[in-house]
Amino acid sequence: MLTSALRTIALATLVSATAVSAYAANPKVGGAAMFEDKNIVENAVNSKDHTTLVAAVKAAGLVETLQGKGPFTVFAPTNEAFEALPKGTVETLLKPENKAQLTKVLTCHVVAADAMSTAIAKMIKDDGGEHDVKTVGGCVLKAKEMGGKITLTDETGGVAHVTVADVKQSNGVIHVIDKVLLPKM
């Protein structure tokens, strides 16, 4: 009887742990829950840390694309990352006459693949410590791993750190970064 009770408790514990880990699979971003059954845009609009990115995606006309089937990996800079750009840069990029330049900057944050951090780390290791990441905007980012964290170096030498990895979406994955990645212009 005791053995049966222990088995029941063990099974209940396993089921509870599985349910909790399934529920807690995605980290919160910008204080908002991110849902695996929503697309990149549907989730990003709820993050208070990504209001500038969302405004830029709208201004560039990329909403429909990032709501598409994908898969996409988006390296999503925070509002603080945009604020760190030289004064007036964001305002200038958001002007209608600069849409092509804004689109280039944003698409240098997007990869046409569903690349979780473990896959990126494996590519870095397989390539001897640095992996070239080709973006849909034609940029080549240099991915490295330092102390278990992934960094990305853009074409101007700027280095972004992945601060929140593996935020699953219905059409890909988001990795939150702390710097805006810039193309060589």
132-181 pLDDT, tens digit per residue, is 999 999 999 999 998 889 999 999 999 999 999 999 999 999 999 999 99
Which positions ≥6 away from 116 have C-beta within 8 Å? Answer: 165, 166, 173
Identity of residue 65:
T
Q: Strand 110-111 and strand 149-153: pairing?
A: unpaired
Note the Cα 95 to chain centre separation in Å. 25
Q: For the chain, which residues make up each domain, given as ranges? A: 26-177
Spatial separation of the C-alpha atoms in residues 92 and 89, rounded to whole Å: 5
**Segment 63-109, tens digit of pLDDT:** 999 999 999 999 999 999 999 999 999 999 999 999 999 999 999 99
Domain covering 26-177 in this structure, CATH number: 2.30.180.10
| Strand arrangement, sheet containing 72-77 | 110-111, 72-77, 172-177, 159-169, 149-153, 140-146, 131-134
Whether residue 64 contacts residue 39, with contact meaning beta carbons closer than 8 Å, is answered with no
pTM of the model: 0.84
